[in-house]
Chain A
Amino acid sequence: MSTKGHIFVLLVTLSSLLFILRMVRRRQLRAKYSLLWLTAGLVLVPLAASPQLLDRVSIWLGVTYGPATFFLGAITLLFLVVIHFSWELSRLEERTRLLAEELAVLKADTPEQPGAATEEVVPQH
Chain B
Amino acid sequence: MRTLLILPAYNEEDALPGVLHELRAVVPEFDVLVVDDGSTDGTAAVARRAGVRVAPLPFNLGVGGALQTGFRYAVGHDYDRVVQFDADGQHDAHQIGTLLAALDGGADMVVGSRFAHEARTYTTGRVRSGAMRILRLSVQFLSGQRFSDTSSGFRAFSRPLVEFFADNYPVEYLGDTVEALLLACYEGHRVVEVPVHMHPRQGGTPSNRNVKLMYHYVRTLVIMVTTASLRRRQLNKAVA
Check A104 for interface membership: any CB of B closer than 8 A.
yes
Count A-B contacts at CB 8 Å. 57
Nearest CB on A from B164, distance (A): 16
Check A121 for interface membership: any CB of B closer than 8 A.
yes
Candidates B36, B48, B57; contact of A101 at CB < 8 Å: B57
Check A102 for interface membership: any CB of B closer than 8 A.
yes
Chain A, 87-110, CB within 8 A of any chain B CB: 97, 100-105, 107-108
Check B7 for interface membership: any CB of A closer than 8 A.
no
Interface window among B67-75, B89-97, B119-127 = B67-75
Candidates A104, A105, A119, A123; contact of B58 at CB < 8 Å: A104
- Residues from chain B with a CB closer than 8 A to the CB of A121 are 39-42, 44-45
Chain B, 35-76, CB within 8 A of any chain A CB: 35-36, 39-42, 44-46, 48, 53-59, 61, 65, 68-69, 72-73, 76
The SS class assigned to the A binding surface is helix
- Residues from chain B with a CB closer than 8 A to the CB of A118 are 44-45, 56
Asked whether, in the complex, the Cβ of B53 is within 8 Å of the Cβ of A108, the reply is yes
Check B235 for interface membership: any CB of A closer than 8 A.
no
Candidates A101, A107, A119; contact of B72 at CB < 8 Å: A101
The SS class assigned to the B binding surface is mixed
Asked whether, in the complex, the Cβ of B54 is within 8 Å of the Cβ of A100, the reply is no
User: Nearest residue in A to B13 (C-beta to C-beta)?
Assistant: A123
Asked whether, in the complex, the Cβ of A119 is within 8 Å of the Cβ of B54, the reply is no
- Residues from chain A with a CB closer than 8 A to the CB of B45 are 118-119, 121-123
- Report the bound CA distance from A63 to B44 in whole Å: 64
- Residues from chain B with a CB closer than 8 A to the CB of A101 are 57, 61, 65, 68-69, 72
Chain B, 5-57, CB within 8 A of any chain A CB: 13, 33, 35-36, 39-42, 44-46, 48, 53-57
Check B132 for interface membership: any CB of A closer than 8 A.
no
Nearest CB on A from B7, distance (A): 12
- Report the bound CA distance from A57 to B20 in whole Å: 72
- Residues from chain A with a CB closer than 8 A to the CB of B42 are 121-123
- Report the bound CA distance from A121 to B44 in whole Å: 8
- Residues from chain A with a CB closer than 8 A to the CB of B56 are 104, 107-108, 118
- Residues from chain B with a CB closer than 8 A to the CB of A108 are 33, 53-56, 73
Check B171 for interface membership: any CB of A closer than 8 A.
yes
User: Nearest residue in A to B42 (C-beta to C-beta)?
Assistant: A123
- Report the bound CA distance from A118 to B65 in whole Å: 19
Nearest CB on A from B66, distance (A): 8
- Report the bound CA distance from A68 to B211 in whole Å: 42
Interfacial residues, chain A to chain B (CB-CB below 8 A): 97, 100-105, 107-108, 112, 118-119, 121-123
Selected A-B contacts with CB under 8 Å, 19 pairs:
A97-B65, A100-B59, A100-B65, A101-B61, A101-B65, A101-B69, A101-B72, A102-B72, A103-B58, A104-B55, A104-B69, A108-B55, A108-B56, A118-B45, A119-B45, A121-B39, A121-B41, A122-B45, A123-B46
Known: A105-B72, A108-B53. 7 other contacts (CB 8 A): A97-B171, A104-B36, A105-B73, A108-B55, A121-B45, A122-B45, A123-B13
